[in-house]
Each structure stands twice: as C-alpha cells, then as structure tokens.
Amino acid sequence: MISLSLSEKVMLGTALLGGMAGVVGSFAVLRGRALVGDMLAHAALPGVCIAFLITGHRDLLGLSAGALVSGLIAIGAVTVITRWTRTKEDAAIGIVLSTFFGVGVVLLSIIQKPSTSGNKAGLNSYLFGEPGGMLNSDLIVLAVVAAVVLAGVALFFKEFELTCFDSDFARSQGWPTLWLDLAMLAMLAVVTIVGLPIVGVILMAAMIILPAATSRFWTNRLPVLLLVSGLVGAAAGLLGTQVGRGYPAGAAIVLTASSFFVVSLLFAPQRGVISTLLSEYRLRRRVAEEHLLRALFELGEAELPAVPVIDVQVLRDYRHWWSLDRLLERAREEELIEWSANHVQLTPLGLRRASQITKAHRLWELYLVRHADIAPDHVDRDADDVEHLLPESLVAKLEQELAAEGRLPTVLAEVPDSPHVIGAEASGSVSP
C-alpha cells in the first residue's frame, strides 16, 4: 500500500466522493429526484444507530450497511405512501425524512447515555461530517464503491438514459424500467451513505444536486453531462478541502460546488443568465429598430416613391417610444436613416428594409383578418408582436396566398395597403 499523508487521503477521498456523487446525482436530478438524496441522508441515521448498537463499534462498512438498510426501507415507505394513499410525493418524502430522523435522534440519545457501552466517537460525524478522520480502510471502501458505480453506469448507460428521458417508451420497448429505476436509486443510496461520514447529512444532499445542476448549464448531452458533473464534483472535493482549511470541511466543499454553480449560472453560453439577458436585449433592440423603420415608412407613404423628410416631433408623437434619440442614433450608425437636428429621412437602404418590414406586418394583418377572423381594428397589435419573427419564406408564402386570392393590392405590389387606419393605435381611436 502506498502510504499517503492524512491531507492527501482527505483530498483523494473527497474527490472520489464528489466524482461519484456528480455521476449518480445527474440521474437523480434528471429523474426529478433531487431531494431523494436529502431524504436518504436523513433516513440513514436510525440504521447507523442500530448497527452501532448491534456491533458496538464504529467502522465504515458496518455502519454503512445499517444506513443502507434503513435508506432502502425509507425509499420503500415513500413508494408505499404515494402509491397507496393520496399523499403527494413531496409530502411523503418530507414525512419519511423527518420521522426516520426522529427515530435516529431518539436512538442516538439512548446511545449517548453513559450506561451504553462502546466507542461512540465518530457517530456524530454522520450528522455533520468529519473528513479529517479518514482511514485507509475508508479510502478503500470509497474507491471500491466508485469503481462499482462507474462500472454500473458504463454497463447500463443506454438503459439508464432511456429510462431517464422517456420511461414510458422504455417500458413499451420491454425494458424493466422498475428495476432500472431501482438500480439508479440504489446507486444513489450507496453513494449518499458512504459520503455521509465525510460531509454530513445536509451537505451530502448538496453534493448530489450541485454538480449535476452545474453541468446541466453547459451541455444537453447525457454522456457529457455525466463526465462534467463527475469532474465538477471531484474538483469541488479537491478544492474545497484545500481552500477551506480551518473551516468545517463539508461546508467548504459545498460552498466550492455552489460557486461553480453560480459561475455556470451566470456565464454558461446558452442557458446562462448573462447570455439570456443579452439575447433578450438584442431582440428588444431589433424590435425597436423595426418599429422605427415602419413608422418612418408609414409617415412618408403618401409621397412614395419620393422619400420625404419627416419632422422628429411628428415621429415622436406617432407612437410610444423608449428613448427615441438613442434609437435614431443607432439607426444612423447603421446607415438606415439620415438624421439632422429635427429632420429624419430614410436612406435607400433604410427604405428597402422599411418596406420589407411593413410588408411583413401588413401581410400578417391580412392573414389574421382573413384566416383568424380578427376584426381589422384589432390586428395591428397582434401583428406588432409577430412581424419581427416572420421568416422570409413565410412572408413569401403569405404573399403568394393572398396574390392567388387576388387580395394582394396590385397598386403597390411592393407593400400592400393596411387593412386599418394608419396610426389608429397611436391616436387611440379604434374605428375608421
């Protein structure tokens, strides 16, 4: 056996634990069972106490066996309660969690009475975690469990994947989904229970959820998800024990994992908050710009094909604007308009874009009037919402359809007439 210093053992152990918690946690989170880890962690306590009362000493294997048994009984109890009564799953989990833990507290206080024999040191670690007490044998147990769990996942990857994403389909294909589900739960139970003495009850629940939720921000593919959450969990274990020296190790590990989560939450490329906000901002900017172009087109429509100069004040009164000046500024930079003091004029490029947008808007209005049977004075607002999202191909199709029915105005083949009074929405009048 290679001899390791205590801190090396702790690092290795927490990294192993974080890694496998990340992998089994991914399945749990995908199955909507994020809080089952929490329940298992609490429900293990009576088993730990009973195992201690029977064997009279603390060793990871014996106590874990007790914990596993009571964890499995707890899962059974939740299943029975939800299947046989009208108690909902969240309530069943809460009830079993608290009742089992209550039994554990009762047993613990019996054990801690001076009259009970045995070496009680280390039992408390099941509540709050004590990675500092890691023994060589504990490390071996962790390594074996990690190997078994990873082998199980590798072996049944396809089956687990299908059960996670579409269990009805899996069942209809003849897979034993109940057993696969139980296998996933059993892996979750085993990992939770070997982790308990290291990080404690609450924080073990976190180790199940956090790595999986973190990696979910970065990928939509299960193999990548498993890999990334395994790595995130292991890294949280390694860094947490290093950075958090002098602090309770379980809490330090969980806070490290939480900071990975927060970073992902903010900066992940597609699902992250910043990128979501950015894309929302870009959309809003495009919508505002399209409204500007259409307003300019409609204001000068009577004088086409000449492109008239519009008074900014007229434009300002035409509809409600969020900071018109910034909008004009940006449109000028993109060479869509020419703007001086209080006069605006579309450039040839701007006119082309404006007529396209107005066309899309009016075609959609015509379509709504024709097919959705919406009154002409009500379509403007609806079309407003949709026009920005109409793809070119759909606009072309609408144009064809309306032309085939002879409804596409031929006078202005480029842009059809509006089915309602222009400016009705701004002035607030609804009838022509």
Contact status: 108 vs another protein (CB under 8 A): yes
Q: ∠251-60-133 over CA atoms, to 5°?
A: 50
180 or 201: CB nearest another protein: 201
How far is Cα 297 from Cα 288, in angstroms, rounded to an integer?
Answer: 14
Contact status: 222 vs another protein (CB under 8 A): no
Subset of 230-259 contacting another protein (CB under 8 A) = 244, 247-248, 250-252, 254-255, 258
85 or 400: CB nearest another protein: 85
For the beta sheet containing 337-340, the strands, ordered from the edge strand earlier in sequence to the opposite edge, are 310-311, 343-346, 337-340
282 or 320: CB nearest another protein: 282
Contact status: 53 vs another protein (CB under 8 A): no
Question: Token pair for residue 336?
Answer: 């869509």
> Per CB under 8 A, which region of 5-13, 202-210, 221-229, 391-399 contacts another protein?
202-210
Q: Examine residue 131 and say whether the peptide bond preceding it is cis (omega within 30 degrees of 0).
A: no
Residue 412 · residue 358 · CB < 8 Å: no
- Beta strands (DSSP E) in 356-418 are none
Residue 41 · residue 205 · CB < 8 Å: yes
94 or 423: CB nearest another protein: 94
Residue 249 · residue 131 · CB < 8 Å: yes
* DSSP sequence for 217-244: TT-S-HHHHHHHHHHHHHHHHHHHHHHT
**Among the listed residues 430, 369, 385, the one whose alpha carbon sits nearest the alpha carbon of residue 283:** 385
Burial grade of 240 (CB within 10 A; 0-12, 13-18, 19 or more):
buried
Q: What mask, x for binding another protein by CB under 8 A, covers residues 116 to 145?
A: --------x--xx-----------------
Q: Could you count the other beta carbons within 10 Å of the beta carbon of residue 104? A: 24
Subset of 266-325 contacting another protein (CB under 8 A) = 271-273, 276
For residue 180, give the amino acid letter: L
Contact status: 403 vs another protein (CB under 8 A): no
Contact status: 167 vs another protein (CB under 8 A): no
Q: What mask, x for binding another protein by CB under 8 A, covers residues 23 to 42?
A: ------x--xxxx-xx---x
Among 93, 299, 337, 344, contact with another protein (rule: CB under 8 A): 93
> Per CB under 8 A, which region of 84-92, 155-163, 164-172, 324-332 contacts another protein?
84-92
Question: Token pair for residue 117?
Answer: 């024999």
Residues that bind another protein (CB under 8 A): 29, 32-35, 37-38, 42, 80-81, 84-88, 90-91, 93-95, 97-99, 101-110, 113, 124, 127-128, 202-203, 205-206, 208-210, 212-213, 216-217, 244, 247-248, 250-252, 254-255, 258, 261, 265, 271-273, 276
